[in-house]
Amino acid sequence: MINNLKNNNFAKNIKFFQPEKIYTWLKIIIHQVLFSAKNISFRQLLRGIQKFNYKGLFLKIKQFDYKGRWLKITFEIRISILVFLSLLSLFLILDLIFSLPDEVDYSTIIISSDSTVVHAFLSTDEKWRMKTELSEITPLLRKAIIYKEDKYFYFHTGINYFAVFRAFVNNILQKKRTSGASTITMQVARLLEPKERTYFNKFIEMFRAVQLEFHYSKDEILQLYLNLVPFGGNLEGVKTASVMYFEKAPNHLSLAELTALSVIPNKPNSLVLGKNNDQIIEQRNKWLKRFAKAGLFPKQDIEDALNEPLDAFRHESPKMAPQYAYRLKSLYPELPIIATQLEVNKQAKVQNLVKNYINRLYNRNIKNAAVMVIDNQKNSVVVYVGSADFANTEDAGQVDGVVAIRSPGSTLKPLLYGLAFDKGIITPKLKITDVPVSYGGYEPHNYDQKYHGFVTIEFALINSLNIVAVKLLQQIRTQQFVNSLKKLGFDQIRKDEKKLGLSLVLGGCGVNLEQLTKMYHAFANKGLFTELNWLAADKDKGGFQVISAESAYMLTEIMSKVKRPDMPMEWQNSADLPRVAWKTGTSYGRKDAWSIGYNKNYTVGIWVGNFSAEGVQELSGAESAAPLLFEIFNTLDYRSEAEWYHVPKNIDFRLVCSETGLPINDFCKNILSDSYIPSVSTNQICNHLKMSYISPDSSISYCKTCLPEAGYIKAWYPNYLPEMITYYDENQINYRKVPIHNPACERVFAENKPEITSPMHNVEYYVDKTDNTSIMLSCNAANDVDKVFWYVNDKFIKSSAPTKKVFFTPSEGNLKISCTDDKGRNTDISIVVKMINF
């Protein structure tokens, strides 16, 4: 501080001491000693005063030898400090009684990752008052505003006493208001607490200005001024003006633009951009010339600013990503600026794509769509489109399709397959039967109403076979699948947990687009599920493995295949088809079409349909949602250079039989390679053939009990499951049967007994009393069975071929149903029949 005193003009000119300048010098001394730091608050400075006593302050000043005259200065300083302390005590009391009205009601704005305002909301008092951050106050803006409004802003404590005195004298002499004395701080006080312009209110304004200096730093006061300064109509603040007039942030304004804005607050109602641009240019250039005269900015910058045209006008407030904006505003109502990780250019492109895409489908009665895009590297939401057109009230455009609960169709199947991979139940090339099944009366059907017999797991997933999915769910157990979905944040599934059954995996539940997209994002992230980053300040929060990296890799390899039925017609031979892993889904009644895909860089989730839940015959995931998925990938990541997924270390490859997908046996001839997870995937050896003992003419077969000593041969026969035999027989598909068993054999077999598929064991059946209702009897039998015999309560009903359906009229009560095949193998079940009036 002392060095500062020695170097300033006061130290050089103190020898010309004049009593009338005591106040001026005292002001400079106190400023240099106490206010030398420009960005320190008045409160902080007062804390500093406590470190000085009269003697300490006296000694510091005494170092100037002005031939004894310093004694008089010291006397004046001591008196000033006493007055200052008295005034300070009074001020502190008044500050406690009359608290500063410094709460500002800002407009909530949503900003993108590059700080662009993507959406803005009116404040509660119907003003556009966007908050300007300190980082947006550039040196250019700071210099221009301070020079124009308050040159001594950093050299006073809220009040410029000389300006006040000058204005008071001029107003008295002229008998009218000829000049003002308001500092920036006083203007902030007036903007915070508007009052009629009277001398009494001016004193209140001055008190409030001192309060502001006491509570805020200079930069914070300047920020308040720039946030509250009026620009006509309901526009307040520099950020509001720069966004609404120039469609850019304050820190991107040119010298000409910010100078043009700086002249408007003097006459906000008569200087309106878009209406009075010529007058504004005239005022702008006048101040630019003053800046030049003061040497405030480089000469070339001034010349460029003078020649810059002004064609600004008031634009509409930013309205991009409306559903996203409303959602975040409701989540963070206390934040005036919600800084997000949304990427404005990507958002604009996808938003436009969605609108144009739905326009093309509109004549087919498909009226809406929603899209969510996740950046896989940043783990952040970069695109969020809630509907095709927010302004379309006729088609419920205000609904947020990203969070609307809908039926998922087949989109949950990949998670089920991933869990099955981790259980060791399946591998990609494993064969499974796609034939009619019944689980407790629930009989799933495929989307195409067809059955495909033996299919590989990868074929089943690519073709989205419902029967295979239900079989896998039955093996894994519904509750475990539900638990996995609950862990992933499927809230509606959590609520409906007790109502869910095997139909869950086919779309018999409620989900939303965000939940599905996050699940597929986990597949893209090697099975690791993490919560998304929405705000700019969000950091990765860690996560958990929903499936293993090995399972995720196998899913990705299957879902990235291009030869599949859900490939859109127009993309089947396209050279621009992006390399992505994706799955489609269509809900029951064709009310929802889904397509969700990912590559290394992005995960894209798409829903297409009507918010009215109206079904459309032409609506499907393949033809209605997948084309948009590919368009978006080509827009965001055309010919992506990112590497494809590498094979995890814990995945290995083995030779398997093409008939079953199991490790090869000695009799296996057709061999292929399959991926598997060592120590997890099943090691069961292929058993698609079984050896039988038959007569030389292949007319009968023998078991070990009736096997003759000679006169037989060994032969290999297909080892089909009973359900597969039933499927072949019902569809008249030829297959190689084991010859009829030796009729002379007296052995009763225990294995391969018939499997009763209808009615279901331990199920109650309600029968109409007034109607002659029948119950169907059906079974699956081994391939060596030609006839089965049906009994009810041990009473013979009928004999038939194993694949033929038999019907009987039941009586009320507990019934025992028995099925015996021609080998003597028997199966019993129990049902309860109740007679009611429908």
Q: CA triplet 173, 178, 181: central angle to 5 degrees?
A: 105
- Measured CA to CA, the distance from residue 560 to residue 558 in angstroms comes to 6
Of 412, 413, 372, 310, nearest to 534 (Cα)? 372
Task: Name the percent of the chain in helix, strand, coil, to the closest 5.
Answer: 40, 20, 45
Per-residue b/e over 781-790, b at no fewer than 16 CB within 10 Å?
bbbbbeebbb
Residue type, 693: Y
- List Cα–Cα distances, 143 to 170, 241, 294, in angstroms: 28, 18, 11
Count, residues in the chain: 838
For residue 634, list its beta bridge partners.
none
753/755 Cα distance (integer angstroms):
7
Q: Can 560 be counted among the known catalytic residues?
A: no
CB atoms within 10 A of CB 807: 12
- Residue 21 CA, chain-centre distance (Å), reads 66
In the numeric block, the tokens 């259980």 are attached to: 423
**Given 410, 484, 595, 692, the catalytic residue:** 410
Give CA torsion, residues 334, 338, 341, 344, to 10 deg. Answer: 150
Cis peptide before 759 (omega within 30 of 0): yes
Q: Say whether 729 sits in a helix, a strand or coil.
A: helix
Among residues 655, 646, 649, which one has the least CA distance to residue 675?
655
**Among 112, 113, 123, 149, the one annotated catalytic:** 149
Residue the block writes with tokens 């099975």: 527
Decide if 685 contacts 702 (C-beta within 8 A): no
Consecutive H or E run containing 516: helix 513-524
Annotation marks residue 136 as catalytic: no
- As separate numbers, helices (DSSP H) first and strands (DSSP E) second, the chain gives 26, 28
Active site residues: 149, 410
